[in-house]
Amino acid sequence: MSRLGPFITLAAGAVLAAGLGVASVTATPAPKTAAGTTAAVPAPEEPSAAETTATASPTPDKTEATTIPKADYGGYVKGNGGLIAISVRDGKAVGYFCDGKTEAWFKGGEAGGKVVLKGLGTARATATLGDGRARGWLSVGGGKWRFTAPAVVRPSGLYRATALVRGAKLRAGWIRVPRPGGGYDQVGAAFVGQDQVPIPKLDDERPDTPVTVAGTAVSPKDVDAFIEEMR
């Protein structure tokens, strides 16, 4: 598994039903501190009445909302410490969230600078795009957190790899965001069937360089290679 700052060790996993197109949420044990004790997980934030009003869906009018041709965002979840990545392509949107306790894949759409994403069960994410950032709220596993994710470009962003290992589906996902001082923070998780397996870090400058997961060489792909498969 990778670590965040420089990397978070995850005990999280996304079990995707029926291939890439199904969003998932998996709860896993809370992270440990250096002393071996369980780290405290911040209480979920709740939006104020003003914020709730500001992020509500706009009143429809007679003008059809335009869509963003291409945009990628990645950043930290406030009060949680995890990372979120959101990618938009011509109205289609996908997202991935992971902290030291929970992870989730999302799919949905974008129109008029508003992104609405749905995951498994009650998992949801919404964002407003503007000024080079995605700002919004994330709801996963009973918690709700705010995030601000700046626009990113390769080699930052969202990556995924899949393969067959002894007849079982291997699935791996990564989020990479740049550090202010150079380098990248990264988080990710990998599964073979229902079993979580260690996940290697991606190459800093060439994240599509093949890596070995569960004894199998896989080639991580950026979002352009898999967004259309997430139906």
pTM: 0.72
In the β-sheet with 157-165, what is the strand arrangement from edge to edge? 195-197, 184-192, 168-178, 157-165, 221-222
Higher pLDDT, 132 or 101: 132
The answer to whether residue 3 scores a pLDDT higher than 60 is no
Q: Indicate the domain borders of the chain.
A: 156-229
Cα–Cα distance between 181 and 164 in angstroms, integer? Answer: 38
Quick: pLDDT tens for 94-112.
999 987 667 789 999 999 9
Q: Which residues are bridge partners to 32 per DSSP?
A: 38
**Whole-number mean pLDDT of the chain?**
78
What residues contact 130, with CB distance under 8 A and at least 6 apart? 113
In this structure, of 27-36, 60-69, 146-155, the range with the lowest mean pLDDT score is: 27-36
- Residue 64, both tokens: 């059809």
In the predicted structure, residue 209 carries a pLDDT above the cut 70: yes
Percentage of the chain surpassing pLDDT 70? 71
Phi, psi (deg, nearest 5) at residue 167: 85, -5
Res 68: pLDDT: 92
Cα separation, 189 vs 119, whole angstroms? 17
Please spell the DSSP secondary structure of 39-64, one letter per residue: PPPPPPP---HHHHHHTSPPPP-SSP
* Residue 58, pLDDT score: 47
For the ranges 2-6, 145-149, 190-194, the lowest mean pLDDT is seen at 2-6
> Per this entry, what is the length of the chain?
231
> What's the pLDDT band for 90 if we cut at 50, 70, 90?
very high
Report pLDDT for 21: 40
